[in-house]
Amino acid sequence: MTCAHGVGNRLIQEMFNHSGETVYEHFHRVLGVINKLAKDIIKPHPHYNDGNCIGAIDSTHIKVHLPRDEEIPYIGRKGYPMQN
């Protein structure tokens, strides 16, 4: 709810009647699990093909190559590491 709707910690505290510390702790636990599963969850569309595209223009994302242990923080919505 916090991520999907942009709702802050304070509103979540009020909605579920829990302390800010509890909301923070559980939010980060869930976020950690999602981060670990990111490679399995975030994948490109099966019919997407960028052909011979090696980059993009006008503040759009381009495909980059990163060390394997640094990939997750930079994976974009297309399912591969990106940098703006």
In this prediction, residue 23 carries a pLDDT of 92
Question: Domain residues for 9?
Answer: 1-41
Same domain, 51 and 70: yes
What does pTM read for this prediction?
Answer: 0.47
In this prediction, residue 82 carries a pLDDT of 67
**Within the chain, what is the greatest distance between any pair of CA atoms?**
53
Residue 4 has pLDDT above 90, yes or no: no
Q: Which of 20-24, 27-31, 59-63, 78-82 has the lowest mean pLDDT?
A: 59-63
Same domain, 13 and 47: no
In this prediction, residue 22 carries a pLDDT of 94
Same domain, 12 and 37: yes
pLDDT band, very low/low/confident/very high, at 35 (cuts 50, 70, 90): confident
